[in-house]
Each structure stands twice: as structure tokens, then as C-alpha cells.
Copies of this chain bind each other. A is one copy, B any other.
Amino acid sequence: MSAIQGARERARAEVTAAIKEEARRQVAREGAVKLSLRAVARELGMVSSALYRYFPSRDDLLTALIVDAYDALGAAAEGALATADGREPLERWSAVCRAVREWALAHPHEYALIYGSPVPGYSAPQATVVPASRVALALLTVVLDAHAAGALRAPEGAVVPEAVGADARALAGTLGIELPEAALTGFTAAWAQLFGLVSFEVFGQFNKVVEAREEFFAHAVAALGRATGLPWTSQSD
């Protein structure tokens, strides 16, 4: 990022990073509930009160971890998008979804941190909204590209209610994109539904119900992409 000026600032950056790293390790091992400032300080060989020079409270440390988790998941999604560049829309869509699922399964506690119950306050801190949008934007890219190529089918089904269409227009304006109301509305629903599939698997709701998890997910996600209007060849799944 920016050049580090003196030894003090460098030390501060390093200690801050070390705290976050140890905290992330604890969250990954035991979950956010078990994260303890004292344990982090102990592991780092400092006294607990010293840690408050770097994070004003436990919730602030957790918020930093939340931002990092959003960024890591977003990077995974964007990486999958880049790797699937040039392929069919539905394949790109599925690739991003698969990356989300795999990251979630590899980091269940960090996934729970961002898509489980919000643990500090009720409204997410402002700092989290940009990193949080990265997955959605990766998915949206697929839809936008398909639309630009004239390959996006109009979603079947009922007409979009006026208030919902207004939301879609406002959102399109905010993002500076061009997409039919129905398509953007359907995409928003698919975005939320994707995380329903992932959360149910990560949180154990599919126990004794779905065993072939990966195949089920691929199948469901492909259907989700088709419902969003992405074109498909007869064999794609």
C-alpha cells in the first residue's frame, strides 16, 4: 500500500498483522465465539492490555477479520471468474459458485463469520460493504457479459412488481450497469439463493438429506444460472 515511514510505524503494522493472524487462527480452529483477546495476547507473548493499542475492542478485531474473510472469499470468486474467462456463461457462473462453495467448506468458521449470524451489533460496519460485494459482482459480471452478447434470455414467470422493479432500476443506476429489471431482480434472488445452498451444506442442514454434496450443488447451481437467464447447451450441467 503506502510506504512505511519509521521503525515505529513498521513495528505497528507488523504487530497488527500478527494479532490478526493469530486471531484468525483461533477463529478457524474454534469459531468466533471462542476468540479471546487474552489468548491472542498470550500466544504473542504480550500482555492483554497492550493489545488495546491496536484494536480498541474485541468487536473491532472481529470486524477486521470479517473484512479479511469477505476479501478472501471475494478473491476466490474473482479468481474463478478469471480462470473461466472465455467459456460459456453457464460454465463461468458455475465456476464462481463452485469457488464460493469450496472456500466456504475450507474455511467454515470464517464463512460463518460473514454469512452466519451477525455477532457484533446488527448493522454491518461500513467498512465491510465493499469487500462483501465482490462475490456478487463476480457473479453479476457473468450475467452482464451474457446480456452484452445478446445471449441473456428473459426470465419466464410473472411480471416484476413495480416496487421491485424500482429497486432494480435504482441498483442498476448505482452500479452504472444496464440490465433489464427482470434480469437484475432474478439475479439478486439467485445471489441470495446461492448462499442458501452453501450455508445449508456448511452448517450441516443437509446431513442425512444430501450425501452427494458436490454433484447436488453443481446441479442446483446450474439450474440457478438457467433460471437467471443464462443460455445453456443441452449437455452442460
How far does the alpha carbon of A76 sit from the alpha carbon of B186 in the complex, in Å? 27
B157–A204 CB distance below 8 A: no
Q: Which B residues are in CB contact (< 8 Å) with A6?
A: none
Q: Which B residues are in CB contact (< 8 Å) with A196?
A: 192-197, 199
> Does A9 sit at the interface, judged by CB under 8 A?
no
What are the interface flags for A203-231 relative to B under an 8 Å C-beta threshold, 1 for contact and 0 otherwise? 11111111110011011101110110000
Which of B112, B132, B223 is within 8 Å of A117, CB to CB? B112
B209–A188 CB distance below 8 A: yes
How far does the alpha carbon of A157 sit from the alpha carbon of B123 in the complex, in Å? 38
Size of chain A's interface in residues, with CB distance under 8 A?
63
Q: Within A130-162, which residues are at the interface with B (CB < 8 Å)?
A: 132, 155-161
List 9 additional contacts besides A122-B204, A188-B210; criterion CB under 8 Å.
A124-B204, A157-B223, A163-B212, A164-B210, A164-B219, A170-B211, A185-B219, A192-B199, A195-B196
A32 to chain B: closest residue by CB: B117
Q: What's the least CB distance linking A71 to chain B, in Å?
A: 16
What are the interface flags for A9-51 relative to B under an 8 Å C-beta threshold, 1 for contact and 0 otherwise? 0000000000000000000000111000000000000000000
A203–B117 CB distance below 8 A: yes
Q: Which B residues are in CB contact (< 8 Å) with A166?
A: 212
> Does A5 sit at the interface, judged by CB under 8 A?
no
> Does A189 sit at the interface, judged by CB under 8 A?
yes
Q: Can you pick out 12 interface pairs between chain A and chain B where the beta carbons lie within 8 Å of each other? A: A31-B119, A112-B117, A122-B204, A124-B204, A124-B207, A158-B223, A163-B211, A185-B220, A189-B219, A192-B196, A192-B199, A194-B196
